[in-house]
Amino acid sequence: MSSLSTRPAPAPAVNPAARANGAASSGWLGRAALGLGGLVGIVAIWWLAVAVFAAPGTLAAQFSPARAIETLPALITDDRLAVHIVTSLRRIAIGLLWALVVGVPLGFLIGRVKALDTALSPTLQFLRMISPLSWMPIAVMSLGVGDRAVYFLLAFAAVWPLMMSTAAGVAHIDKRWLQLGESLAATRGEMLWYVYVPGIAAHVLTGVRLAIGILWIVLVPAEMLGVSSGLGYLILDTRDRLAYSELTAVILVIGALGFLLDFAARLAYRRFGLGRVEQER
């Protein structure tokens, strides 16, 4: 009896899921803290460089991060920063939508029909290597000054990663899924919805993320085509007014919005793209 009474109690069972969630949350917090520390360090180096090399009252002193942050309230109230942001995001959404409408079906056909891939590949590769900004004069002459030319440039810039990602997704679909659908006498609509759409979802979302990055880069020069609103227009306006501290603040806003757009695209990929991959496995 004494030996039984002195036996140590068994250790409580640990839920593997809870342990995995705890490790994931601690890892995420560590990465977030490290990224925030790097951002603070870059801003500190920026501030120190302006303070050391730019004399007070000079033009270079207006580019300090402190001056940029000071001008943000006036930029929001006087220059209607929110209106320019909404306008730019609307143009991004419309350009991305047109790129999806064109790029995804074309990429699907290229990945599905080898003869079409062989016939169109040289032409598409040639067009892909032309900078979208090279089309600015042609877009203005054909579509006029305004939103339509901007939409064309944005859609032209975004269509290539979507098309190539979709074609790669179609080419990498497991042949066994196709054979299974055919053996079950699935219709074309059923094959498209239950086989092809899940099979290319992750690739399309990867193309969307790449397209958003390209769109955000092309947006600013595209909004210099005679439009009266948008972040690109605001860059020109602050430059013409010699308001360089406001120009620096607009640059910071563009960077922050681009980061948030890419973050949203990554979340969508992890939520839907990786989920599709795990289901297939």
Of 175, 169, 171, whose CA–CA distance to 201 is shortest? 169
User: Does some domain include residue 143?
Assistant: yes
Model confidence pLDDT, tens digit, residues 113-141: 889 888 988 898 898 898 888 888 888 88
C-alpha span between 191 and 170 (Å, rounded) = 12
| CATH (domain of 77) | 1.10.3720.10
Are 150 and 238 a contacting pair, CB within 8 Å? Answer: no
Task: Verify that 120 and 186 share a domain, yes or no.
Answer: yes
Task: Verify that 210 and 116 share a domain, yes or no.
Answer: yes
User: Does some domain include residue 1?
Assistant: no
Identity of the amino acid at 94: I
User: Does some domain include residue 4?
Assistant: no
Task: Verify that 41 and 97 share a domain, yes or no.
Answer: no
User: Does some domain include residue 83?
Assistant: yes
Model confidence pLDDT, tens digit, residues 203-260: 998 999 999 989 998 998 888 877 888 898 888 888 888 888 888 888 888 988 988 9
Task: Verify that 146 and 160 share a domain, yes or no.
Answer: yes
Task: Verify that 80 and 27 share a domain, yes or no.
Answer: no
Task: Verify that 217 and 265 share a domain, yes or no.
Answer: yes
Task: Verify that 159 and 121 share a domain, yes or no.
Answer: yes
Number of structural domains (the chain) is 2
The pLDDT assigned to 13 comes to 53
Model confidence pLDDT, tens digit, residues 96-108: 999 999 999 999 9
C-alpha span between 117 and 80 (Å, rounded) = 47
Task: Verify that 74 and 44 share a domain, yes or no.
Answer: no
Model confidence pLDDT, tens digit, residues 61-87: 777 777 888 888 888 887 788 999 999
Which structural domain range is residue 72 located in? Answer: 57-280
Task: Verify that 167 and 264 share a domain, yes or no.
Answer: yes
Task: Verify that 196 and 128 share a domain, yes or no.
Answer: yes
Task: Verify that 21 and 114 share a domain, yes or no.
Answer: no
C-alpha span between 78 and 73 (Å, rounded) = 8
Model confidence pLDDT, tens digit, residues 38-54: 777 887 887 787 777 77
The pLDDT assigned to 6 comes to 53
Task: Verify that 45 and 139 share a domain, yes or no.
Answer: no
Identity of the amino acid at 204: V
User: Does some domain include residue 5?
Assistant: no
User: Does some domain include residue 2?
Assistant: no
Of 52, 22, 276, 69, whose CA–CA distance to 174 is shortest? 276
User: Does some domain include residue 66?
Assistant: yes
